[in-house]
Amino acid sequence: MRLVMIGSGYVGLVSGACFADFGHDVICVDIVEEKIKALKQGIIPIFEPGLSEIVQTNMNSGRLSFSMDLASAVSEADVVFVAVGTPSRRGDGHADLAYVYAAAEEIARAAKGYTVVVTKSTVPVGTGDEVERIVRRVNPDADIDVVSNPEFLREGAAIADFKRPDRIVLGTSSERATEVMRAVYRPLYLNEAPILVCERRTSELIKYAGNAFLAMKITFINEIADLCEKVGADVQKVAKGIGLDKRIGDKFLHAGPGYGGSCFPKDTLALVKTAQDHDMSVSLIEATVSFNDKRKRAMARKVVAACDGSVRDKKIAILGLTFKPNTDDMREAPSLSIIQALQDNGAIVHAFDPEGMGAAKHYLNDVVYGESPYDIAEGADALVIVTEWDAFRALDLPRLKSVMHSAAIVDLRNIYNRVEMQKAGFRYYGVGS
């Protein structure tokens, strides 16, 4: 089939490359000229394990190409995916749909023959209806169905998530569009990925409800972690104890510095706004958002406590900047609030991250970037593990201790064991124990 991705960002690029890998002909379109130029040369603008190889293989086979010419790509397409950004609108937290609606207009003008237009970007309930209105207004004769098909890709594991999804959600009432979409995903349901077909609005809400639930689950265990610290319990054992209950499940129960990233903060906020627009409040999600916001800065207080009550003029070494490992994405990363709070308290912050330092420079001021964990630990008063990169899981502890000024480790991801750390001569501060 001939597929077009409008938007060659994270979602568009991963989805486009994977669809090409399944044997479809895919054109990824973007309005940013440098991005398309780079992609044509096989240069990938984001760090995602395995993506570069898939892009290269499928470009070589001729199934994947890149273009700025939306109209000509769309005119040949069976299915057009809208995978443009939907950032939080400045000021009110609503998802900004300007890019989605602009794409809808252009698609309506360019489409020829029966075309399925699919919103893959995370869009609030009712956006598909508006896209459909735009299409009918711009081109009343267009033979177009509008389908919602949310993505559930985790950064750092996006290729695996795409190829072996827990489920595929299709929001449409059109049987014709459903058949086309089943054909698009046929290679996947040969792998027995369940396909859920539902109304478009339901599909749009599934995405928000899913992300809000996961954000709430993380927030729940973070709140329990705080309680564990007060009552002398161990949150990791509590998580294990409740996670073995199949109704609860063991995923997303890792206590930490709060969730970040491009999805959870934005999507929880958008869900709160959607509810307000319908004259109700989703109080569990509101509590989640507010707890998580406060938590990031609260983590800085742990560091202050580990430094005997003050970080003024002390050197703090931050290990890990990205919102999670295996990505270079700094959006809403807990490190940003933690570092800002430490600097507000007079700390001198040094940092190291395997992939995120380039992006971090756009977000942070006055941070000294190092070349390795040992480099930034040199003369440090405390080492803070903010992101659980694999490379940080087996640090050379004697070496670390020998270079630090004061042997304090604040492990915000609980990747080390307190007893082992204490044996190695460190003062160790984890989360929730």
Among 324, 326, 339, 383, binds ligand UDX (CB under 6 A): 324
Whole-number Cα distances in Å, 121 to 98, 152, 272? 12, 10, 18
Among 40, 112, 154, 361, binds ligand UDX (CB under 6 A): 154
CA distance 57 to 63: 9
In the 8-state DSSP scheme, what is residue 164? S
Residue 259 within binding range of ligand UDX, rule CB under 6 A:
yes
Helix (H, G, I), strand (E, B), or coil: what is residue 407? coil
CB of 206 to ligand UDX, least distance (A): 11
Residue 254 within binding range of ligand UDX, rule CB under 6 A:
yes
Nearest residue to the partner ligand UDX, using Cβ: 263
Helix (H, G, I), strand (E, B), or coil: what is residue 171? strand
Tokens of 277: 């627009």
Contact 68, 32 (CB under 8 A): no
Cβ neighbours around 82 below 10 Å, total: 28
Residue 292 within binding range of ligand UDX, rule CB under 6 A:
no
Residue 153 within binding range of ligand UDX, rule CB under 6 A:
yes
Query: Which CB, 207 or 315, lies closer to ligand UDX?
Result: 207
Query: Which CB, 264 or 389, lies closer to ligand UDX?
Result: 264
Tokens of 213: 């639930």
Residues 185-244 that bind ligand UDX (CB under 6 A): 211, 214, 218
263 catalytic? Reply is: yes
CA distance 274 to 38: 37
Query: Which CB, 265 or 373, lies closer to ligand UDX?
Result: 265
Choices 38-46, 167-175, 198-206, 251-259; region in contact with ligand UDX by CB under 6 A: 251-259
CA distance 415 to 403: 21
Contact 15, 7 (CB under 8 A): no
Name the nearest CA neighbour of 429 among 376, 382, 373. 382
Residue 320 within binding range of ligand UDX, rule CB under 6 A:
no
Catalytic residue among 18, 28, 263, 307: 263
Among 20, 100, 159, 253, binds ligand UDX (CB under 6 A): 253
| Residue numbers at the binding site for ligand UDX (CB under 6 A) | 151-155, 211, 214, 218, 252-254, 256, 259-264, 323-324
The catalytic residues are: 263
